[in-house]
Amino acid sequence: MSETSSSAQPLGRKDLVRAVAAVAKVKPKEANEIVAAMLGSIIDALKSGREVRVAGFGALSVVHRPARKGRNPEGQEIEVPPRTVVRFRPQKDLRESLSAA
């Protein structure tokens, strides 16, 4: 899981389940329940407007972006509608470990 090639395959849910099963020494079915519970908790917290902080990793928060003027590829001015997005801010430890890699 430490491959840094830009052509590396993304880490999917099944990969996370396998990794949790191996590290926690549990069956893949149990690991899947753990991953599902963790992701569900994160999603529920974000939906309720709470920030999610994971020590050594980073913080996830919901950001409301207002409507704005933009330009399409042809250069015409368009109205970009408001949207709600999830923002990830990596913690210092993660930034430093990625810089050192």
pTM of the predicted model as reported, rounded to 2 decimal places: 0.77
Which residue intervals of 1-101 are DSSP H helices? 13-24, 28-47, 92-100
Q: What confidence tier does 101 reach under pLDDT thresholds 50, 70, 90?
A: confident
Let me know: does 21 contact 28? Beta carbons within 8 Å: yes
Sequence-distant (6+) residues with CB within 8 A of 42 are 52, 60
Type of residue found at 92: K
pLDDT at 79 over 80: yes
* pLDDT recorded at residue 17: 97
